[in-house]
Amino acid sequence: MRVVAEKKFVGLKQPVRVAFGIIAGLDTIEVGIERDGVVGRGECCPMAIYGQTPESTLAEIAAIAPAIERGEIDRTALQSALPARAARNALDCAFWDLEAKTSGRSVWELAALDRPATVASDVTIGISSPAETYRIAADLDAPAMIKLKLGGEQDLDCLRAVRAARPDTPLFVDVNAGWTLAQLNELAPALAEAGVFMIEQPLPPGDDALLDGYSRVLPLCADESCHDRSDLARLRGRFDYINIKLDKAGGLTEALALAEAGREQGFRLMVGCMLATGLAMAPAYMVASLCEVVDLDAPLIVKLAAHAGVRHDGRLLHGFDPDLWG
């Protein structure tokens, strides 16, 4: 058994502005676990907002690699050997890929999931001017759903711009923890009037307790506030949806368990992703098969070459090529 990991830069077609800054590209970590000439691959995208860097993630992988290479840690043992974050995600997904390739069974069979040919996915519009927001929305080709990033200085004007361009398209907003409770109270009625169906992560995770007793005008979704199953108890009564991301959950294994537990506890399910390549989108697609809201539009945002094996046509995300993963 051998473990290899390397950093790769993923460029975006255009910089994306969100509440916490502007993203022009990201470093991802690709992991390979080789056994008897067969290589399983996984990818993660460490994010500074979660206290992780490419360097710290590579160090985590290097520290646990010898135990994996000695056969002391498999996918099951990995869940307790590393915390739920990017490093574990890349290794976990590599184990899934390796298991599929060595067993001759697909990851869908291993997970006992039905494989959909396509899933409807949103298209994201970043924070911009109202005029640019209108142009982007108008140029979209029959999107299944739009996610509008908010947290800027012209939130309502940008919302109105999207609705002017796309009056009937299902629409939700993502604040990336950029509001205060006062802003949520002020802006939520206007969002409801515009037909927004959900607000994603309105407050910083440390302010979740402020939602106790909050009279929700619209359903709320926990993104930065929800990483793995250990978060569910404190989210009950505060959020309606949970956004499952493999880098937060620490891999496909926990993401599938989180989806099951979340549904059992009454949460509605959403799947999201970091701005990574098709290698990261493939396992996220499996989670998407279980979710009501799918936010896997990275193939539209990152440069095309990074997404061989995964295709988003502006409305539907198509099933991944097993030659890529799984």
Token pair 């539009």: residue? 297
Q: Give CA–CA dist 56/260, Å, rounded.
A: 30
Annotated catalytic residue, options 8, 101, 147, 245 = 245
Active site (annotated) includes residue 149:
yes
Active site residue 245: yes
Q: How far apart are CA 89 and CA 85, in angstroms?
A: 6
- Dump strand ranges (E) for the chain: 2-18, 21-35, 38-44, 118-120, 123-125, 146-149, 171-174, 196-200, 220-222, 241-244, 268-271, 293-294, 311-312, 316-318
User: Going edge to edge, which strands form the sheet with 118-120?
Assistant: 118-120, 316-318, 311-312
SS3 of 21, please? strand
Distance CA 194, CA 183 (A): 17
Distance CA 30, CA 44 (A): 7
The Cα-based distances of 12 to 276, 305, 313 in angstroms read 10, 11, 17
Element of type H or E holding 62: helix 54-69
Q: Which of 258, 261, 213, 269 is nearest to 237 (CA)?
A: 213
Q: Catalytic residue, from 101, 147, 149, 248: name it.
A: 149
CB contact burial 52-87 (16+ within 10 A = b; e otherwise): bebeebbebbeebbeebeeeebebeebbeebebbbb
Residues with active-site annotation? 149, 245
